[in-house]
Amino acid sequence: MTWSHWFVAPAITSFFFLLGVLTLYWFLTNRIVRLLQKFGYHPDPEAVRNIFGLLYMIVIIFGLQLSVRDSANSWVFSNGRLQEIT
């Protein structure tokens, strides 16, 4: 946000996007644990969530960064980005 732009609509959209990302994460991790149990393994659910969560967030972060690349408001999605002083 800047003094001239208040990105309220993207904030509301981002809230629901985040809820969707979390819901999909929990659904997929529970499905993976049940699938492993079906095949006779006894996985530690926390270990599955940690490993899958790391991979999931890497895919989400890189996917989002690639989707906003070269857009007009791409600066909104970067935190603490250092600018070259000329």
**Between 81 and 60, residue with greater pLDDT:** 60
pLDDT in tens, 13-67: 888 888 998 999 999 999 999 999 999 999 999 999 999 999 999 998 888 778 7
What pLDDT shows up at residue 85? 55
CA–CA separation, 47 and 10 (whole Å): 34
Say how far residue 15 (Cα) sits from the centre of its chain.
12
Residue spans of the domains in the chain: they are: 9-70
- Our CA angle for 85, 64, 13, nearest 5°, is 105
Whether pLDDT at 86 is above 70: no
pLDDT at 84 over 60: no
Distance of alpha carbon 72 from alpha carbon 34, whole angstroms: 43
Place of tokens 């989400």: 60
Between 21 and 1, the higher pLDDT residue:
21
